Every structure is written in structure tokens, then in C-alpha cells.
Structure 1
Amino acid sequence: MVSQHSVFPPHVMKPLSIIYFISLAVIATADQKDIENVVHGASSKLTAKMFYEVAKGNGDKSFVLSAYSLLSPLALFSIASREYTQDEIWDTIGTNNDSFTKEVYDWKYNRVKSIKGVTLKTASKICLALNYDVYTDYGKGKWDSFGTELENVDFDSNVVTAREISNWVEEQTNHMIKDIVSTDSVNSFTRALLVDAVYFKGQWRASFDNKLTEEKDFYINNRDTSKVQMMYRKGNYKYTKSPILRSQVIEIPYKDGEASLVVVLPREIEGIKDVQEILKDPDVLDNIRRSMFKAEVDLYLPKFRIETTTNLKDVLEKVNFKRLFMQYGCSLYFIMRVLVNMYISDAVQKVLIEVDEGAETASPICKLVDLLSIFGGQTIHKFNFNANHPFIFYVLEGNNVVLSGQFYS
């Protein structure tokens, strides 16, 4: 029954109701897209900056890091701070008020926990000296929702405290990340310590056959070689040759397709330094991925296990996070119950990535999928991708860079 006050007759009301609910769905989708865009922009920008600085400091060494993991504690610091400290953080994490920050980084934290096809374990904690009285709403409410814990510890007992923090990180990462804090890195002068850890290992959507893995030469530079366990697989992948990077680029999907490994292989054996310079622009990787196409590739990729400890204070200060670490310039007012001179004394990140065949033998289903792609009426280009010299890699969740690094044998 239609109310006598209704402007529209019954046959019009139903379509209007449908339009109304569709409009609500569109609005919700737009809001979700805004959140995804903020996280993507923030992770891309911070990854590009941090990768470049860490690469400069590591020289001809393999390393891995996660700017993506740091976004959560940085978001928390933005909520707990004001004035120039907050502005400095907002500029990187892509938000401009506390409410939107919480909405965005709640989504990001829940997304990380739900990625299929990979093992991704993270641990993030802010350790404060015992004499700092933590404000409860942040210690048990907003902080926990981002996946970062807050705890008072006894920095005077540096041996015991270092062991307790390291043990906690080890438990959170399936016992893969060990000894993240050394006894000489904390002391009675430490006010606050940020620790961040990530362990990653994925299952390929199409696994390599370990019977085809062989010991091969890896060209560290034009003069020196080392031996690596080189995996091999012929299959269909997203691929491109980038004239901008003067590199081949391949994207290797993990199981369920929610995550992938992107490998940037310079054309020249000693070309990685030039590629690092170009990748300082966070838009370059996105543009390269948009140019990729499906191709049949003879893929040679080394097995590798890289574990890297990064001095975050040193790196973050170089990418313009200065006030967080300034004793008299940081405004982290809202962590403590009373107004005190609060700043971050030190910060450390430890990341471990493992890349291997992913199974004892290649799955028959994987081979069938490749055959269907080849004979499905689509023209398949054929290429050779031999990662036998230094390369850059990214682990992606959708379009977001979760890990970045370089392999030097």
C-alpha cells in the first residue's frame, strides 16, 4: 500500500528503490576505492624512497625490506601526534585527519591478514621506557586495531629486555625471525624503540619442478661469478621489455592470484645501479606493469633466501622523517597520560623472504592451464628470461608493494 502522501505511483516506486540501493552500492565502492588508492599511493611512495636509500647503503649485496609494513605504526604515530610531526607523517601515509587514517589503516591491516596463497607473518611493537604512563585508549584501543602493540619495558635491564622483545617477534613470525634486538642496541637512555618484522614465503600458482633445478653460474659483475641453484620453468606469465628501465620484467603469480613476485632484470650484467635511479620515481613500476602482456617464457630464476636487518632510524631520517626521532622536536603528545618529552630513540626492521620451487614436482593442473592458454586462440609471444645476474624484485599484494629488494647472489 502506498501512502497518500507519496509523490510517485506504485509502478515507479519499485524502480526508484532499486536505483537508490544501486546508488548506495556505488558510493560504498567509491569509498573503498579511495581507501585502496591511499594505501597504494603511500606504499608506492615510501617503497621507492626507502628502497633507493637502502640500496645505496648495501652496495653489491642482497637485501629485502618492507615499507608497506611500516605504514601501520606510522599511521599510529600520526594519530598520537600533532603539529609538524603529524604533518610530516601525513605527507607519506596519504591521509589528513585521524578518522580517515583509522579507516584506511584498519582496512590495510585486515587486508594483510587475509592474503591467500602465501605465508605472511608480521610483528610490530612500540616499546616504551617504564616511566612512561601509556594513555589507555591508545594502548588498548586504537593501537591494537592497526596490528601494532604498545608495551612498557625495562631498558635498564638491556640483556633481559632484548631477549624478551626478540622472543616475542620470533613467536609472531612462526619462529623464523630471530634476535631482532641486540643487547647493545638498548640501554638506560632509550626512551622508545620501534621493532618491525616480516616473514614471507609463497606457494606458486604454477610451481617449478625441483628435478629441473641445477647449479648455474651467476654473474655478480663483469668479472666475478658465484654458483646458485637455478630453477627453471616454461610457462605463461605477464611479461614486458622496458626501454625506460632497459630491463626485462616478469610477474610470477602466487597461488590464488592475490599476490605475485615481480622481477626486474637489467639488460646489462652491471645495469642494476641505473635501474635503481629510475625506480626512484614511484610511478615507474605502475606504468611498467600496465604495459605487460601474456607471453610464453623460458624462466630461469635462482632459489634464494634473504634476511635483512635495517636501521629504520637511519633510513627514515634520510627520507624526511626527522621529527619522530628529535628529542626536542617530536610532538607525540597523545601516547602518554601526561605531557612529556616523547620521541622515538631507535627503530629496527628485520625481513626474511624465501623463494623456492614451491612443490616437489610441477602440478599437472598447472601444465594443463598453460596448454589451455597456448591453444585458447590467443597469440602467445615467446621469450627467454634468464635471471643470472643482479636483479630487483617486488612482492605485490594486488597492486601494493609488500616487499622490495635486490638479489646479488
Structure 2
Amino acid sequence: MWIRTSFCISVLFAAVQTVSSNMDSKALSASIAKFSARFCNELDKTKNVVSSPLSAEFVLALVALGSEGAAHSELLKGLGIPNDDAIRSAFTSVSQKLRAVKGVTLNVANKVYIKDGDYDLNEQLKTDAIKVFDAGLEKVNFDDGAAAANLINQWVESKTNKKIKDLITSDCLNQDTRLVLVNALYFKGTWSKQFDPNNTSDQPFYINEQTTVDVPMMYREGDYWYGESQELGVQLLRITYVGDDASMLIVLPNEISGLDAVLAKLADGFDLMAELDKMHETKVQVSIPKFKIESEIDLGELLPKLGIKTIFDKANSGLTKMLNKPESLFVSKAIQKAFIEVNEEGAEAAAATGMVFVAMSAIIDGPRLNADRPFLTIVVADNTLHFSTIYRGK
């Protein structure tokens, strides 16, 4: 998944109750999940969409540390994190654990591009960027928008196996640009138990009760972690990747047109994590589509719907602690780009989050999961959500 010049989010779980400044990775996962659910609930309900909660969280958290007033309050509330110290402890912990995930390729990279000359990050924010987010810092001549955009886009491509291209466009950058924050996230995993391509065939997929389209449907019978939630109205299936540290969770509504209701419940705070704890390993007949999705989401329109709006205010953005000199900044552009591919071997996904700041100027004995209707998937590693996909067959 990718984000261009701002932040992003997506997916599901439960609200964070902690008020401690020591926020562990489990609590952070819960906050990502809740914000992700609210984010997904605002996405286009007519097409397939992929997004990355984690990529967005990294950028939003760094911006929160450089904000104050209403902007700071909105960001903390949106992130579900109580204070700045909790941001520092949580993201230091999650960064360390992500580097230790085994069996899959999981790359997380952060970069801060700063206007050349005597501009620099605020001293405390610079320390946080390096120590907490392991971010690289680079001076750039934003006056040459085309060259600056090319430099940033090449870095993003290099960190996402060339899956995310053209994150930044040259018209976003000019002499008023002061900062561009970018997070790049890349994931590639191989199923612990792969699907046999010979069992893949075109099958009808219900877009709604009246309309079907043929999609390539993979099939496998075997042992999986499986569960059912009557309250949420879904079947749950967890497919692990090699190494068992990462998995893809499938949330399949019982009703053909049930996905929007499921997303709404999750956005309202339904505790999906509690349902995952009830899952058990059993024989399952699994049918899921083979798909590839690319998305671009305008976060400048979406984030204000989630209560994060002051950072876009040209008159009073609250971004007073970003730079080493007193200058009013605001977020001029916020876009996410994302990519995911799921096939018989496994899944590959990528995302980037950026932010531009501009100065004012066969039958077996067991359950069957047949994903032949709109559903949600979530890539999870170390109990942290990385990518979420809403698949509607179109």
C-alpha cells in the first residue's frame, strides 16, 4: 500500500482503554485496528480497495509529535494513543518486533525530505524521527518539483520492490514545500500450505443478490484456524505464511450483501480480537479468489471525516513543532497508494505513506468457507495489521 503526501489507514478491531504512557505492541495493534475499521467504513463501497493501516500510522504518529493544540488532540484521538510518550514507546517496540518477524519479507522504511538550505526538523522531532521511527533524513531542492518528485519516487520504488510507482507528482512540490514525510511498507509471504494451481477455476462471485461475475477461485482442503461469529455475522479463517509469524485473516459475511454491515459494526468498536481468540484448528474446505488490486485514496477528503482536519487548515494547522524555525505549515496533499496480489503461492503487498507540508503561501468432514461474495482480508504479523483488502469482485 502506498500513501502520497500525507497519511492513511485501514482495517479492524477494538478500542484502546489504556491511559498509560507505556503502550505495548498489543495496545498499538488495537488502536490501529479501530482506526482502520473507521477508515475502511468510509472507503468507496462500489469497488475493490486495498490499504495499509500501519503505513499510515507511522506517518500520523510522527506528525503528532510535531503538532500542538487542536491538531495534536485530533491526531492522538484518531490514533487511539494517550500521549507523546506512548507514541515513542509503542512505535519503538513495534519497529523492533517487525524486524524480527520470520518466514516472510517485511520491509518498513521511513524517510523525511527537508527543504535544502538552513531548514531542519525541530531538534526533538529530529531525535524522535531517528530513534523512534528509524527514519532517514535528506535535504532536497523542492524548487525543482520534477527532480524532487523523481528522487522521492525512486526511493519508494526501491523499498517496495517497484510495486508502488509515482507516489508524488511534480505539481505537489514547489518553492513553498518545506517537508515530505514518507513511509514505505512491503510484504511478501508464501503460504505454509500452498494452493494447487490445478484446482483453480473460474467460478461465479456474487457482487450482490442479483449479479454475479466469474472470478478465478482457488481451492484447497486442509487444516486451518477457523471460527464463526454469530454476533458479527461472519466466518473467520486464518491462513498462515511460512514461519507462522504472519497470516492472512479472511472475514466472510454470512449474507451476500453483508459486508457493509460488518464494516459498520467493526467501526463502532466491535472486538474482533476477542473472536480471533475463539478460533480453533480444524479441517476446512477453502475457496478464495485469486486477485490483484491497486488503490489510490484521497486522504485529504477522508481523514477530516475521521476527525483529523486541523492539519489541513492553512490559517491554523497546529504544526508548530515540525521545523527548526518559526514558520506556519499545513498539509497540502494527502494520498495513499496501495497494491496487493494474492495467488496460489501466497501474497505480495506494498504501501507508501507520504505527507507534504507547504508554507502559507471435494467433501471432507468439516466446515466450508466459500468466499463467493464481498469479504474483508487482513494481513497480520506479530499481531499488527499491515494491509487490509475489501474484495467486491469488481
2:26 matched residue in structure 1: 37
Residue of structure 2 equivalent to 1:53: 42
Judge which range, 137-146 or 347-356, deviates more: 137-146
Cα contact 1:325–1:345 (8 A) shared by 2: yes
Whose strand proportion is higher, 1 or 2?
2
3-state SS of the aligned residue for 1:69?
helix
Q: Distance in 2 between matches of 1:199 and 1:311?
A: 21
Q: What does residue 362 of structure 1 align with?
A: none
Q: What is the CA deviation profile of residues 352-396 of structure 1, one whole-angstrom value per residue up to 9, with x for unaligned ones? A: 22211127xxxxxxxxxxxxxxxxxxxx96111111221111111
Is 1:405 aligned to 2:394, yes or no?
Answer: no
Separation in 2, partners of 1:39, 1:138: 22
Report the CA distance between 1:96 and its aligned residue: 4.1
- Greater displacement, 108-117 / 143-152: 143-152
- Amino acid corresponding to residue 189 of structure 2 in structure 1: G
SS in 2 for 1:278: helix
Alpha-carbon distance, 1:191 to partner: 4.8
Q: Give the Å deviation of 1:217.
A: 2.4
Unaligned stretches of 5+ residues in structure 1: 1-30, 360-379
Deviation at residue 210 of structure 1 after TM alignment: 1.9
1:63 aligned partner: 49
- Following the alignment from structure 1 to structure 2, what is the Cα–Cα distance between the partners of residues 125 and 150? 6
**Where does 1:24-173 land on structure 2 (aligned, <5 Å)?**
34-54=23-43, 58-130=44-116, 133-135=119-121, 137=123, 141-145=127-131, 146-173=133-160
Asked if 2 retains the 8 angstrom alpha-carbon contact of 1:312 and 1:347, the reply is yes
The structure-2 alpha-carbon separation of the partners of 1:140 and 1:90, relative to structure 1 and needing over 3 Å to count, comes to closer
Q: Which residue of 1 aligns with 2:358?
A: none
1:333 and 2:320 equivalent? yes
Whole-angstrom CA distance in 2 between matches of 1:269 and 1:135: 50
- Please tell me the residue identity of whatever aligns with 1:71: E
- 1:248 is aligned to 2:215: no
| Residue 366 (structure 2) pairs with residue 382 (structure 1) | yes
Specify the SS of the correspondent of 2:315. Answer: coil
Give me the whole-angstrom Cα distance separating, in 1, the residues matched to 2:202 and 2:322: 53
Following the alignment from structure 1 to structure 2, what is the Cα–Cα distance between the partners of residues 148 and 349? 19
CA contact (8 A) 1:196 1:349 kept: no
TM (normalized to structure 1)?
Answer: 0.78
Unpaired segments ≥5 residues, structure 2: 1-19, 347-363
Give 3-state SS (helix, strand or coil) of 2:73's partner: helix
C-alpha contact 1:310 1:350 (8 A) present in aligned 2: yes
- For 2:135 and 2:315, the matched residues in 1 are separated by 25
User: Compared with structure 1, are the counterparts of its residues 95 and 264 closer, same or farther at alpha carbon in structure 2 (3 Å cutoff)?
Assistant: closer
After superposition, the Cα gap between the structure-2 partners of 1:315 and 1:131, relative to the gap in structure 1 and judged at 3 Å, is farther
> RMSD value over aligned CA atoms?
2.7
- Asked if residue 228 in structure 1 is aligned to residue 215 in structure 2, the reply is yes
| Aligned equivalent of 1:356 | 343
Task: Tell me the secondary structure at the aligned position of residue 68 of structure 1.
Answer: helix
Q: Could you say which structure has the larger radius of gyration?
A: 1
Candidates 368, 371, 379, aligned match of 1:395: 379
Q: CA deviation at 1:45?
A: 1.8
- Whichever residue aligns with residue 164 of structure 2, its letter is I
The percent of aligned pairs where both chains have the same amino acid is 32
Q: Does the Cα contact within 8 Å between 2:253 and 2:375 map onto a contact in 1?
A: yes
Whole-Å Cα distance in 1 between the matches of residues 153 and 390 of structure 2?
A: 26
Distance 1:323 1:126 in 2: 21
| Greater displacement, 80-89 / 226-235 | 80-89
Preserved contact between residue 392 and residue 407 of structure 1 (Cα < 8 Å): yes
**Amino acid in the other structure paired with 1:86:** H
1:343 partner SS: strand
Secondary structure at the counterpart of residue 344 of structure 1: strand
Q: Say if 1:126 and 1:151, in contact at 8 Å, map to a contact too.
A: yes
Shift of 1:285: 1.6
Residue type of the partner of 2:53?
A
Q: CA deviation at 1:328?
A: 2.5
Alpha-carbon distance, 1:299 to partner: 0.3
